[in-house]
Structure 1
């Protein structure tokens, strides 16, 4: 197995999840998407201080390895 970096590979995606309530933000190709969502969520829920970054990366199987 290896990261799929071929021309038809899906892009790397970043999102965030609130560790307090489990709410998740939208995924986007840049880490700023997750950061903006965390700040917005924090403003709405001042007691929610713990978050998880979620990174989605495509992998592919390499025959013979």
Structure 2
């Protein structure tokens, strides 16, 4: 994975947190769960990128 790909994916996931569809419904459990799920995905992506060494292939 190239660095720009990693950064783009992280950016897109950050936008997902900011545009949380449950933020407008006042359903705080779903809002928090959605955010936690996106943060988990960002963490997994980060660990994968570090494991692969940020290759330029």
TM-score range, shorter chain: 0.3 to 0.5
What TM-score do the two structures reach when normalised by structure 1? 0.35
Asked which structure has the greater CA Rg, the reply is 1
Greater share of helix residues, 1 or 2?
2
What TM-score do the two structures reach when normalised by structure 2? 0.37
| RCO higher in structure (CA 8 A, sep ≥6) | 2
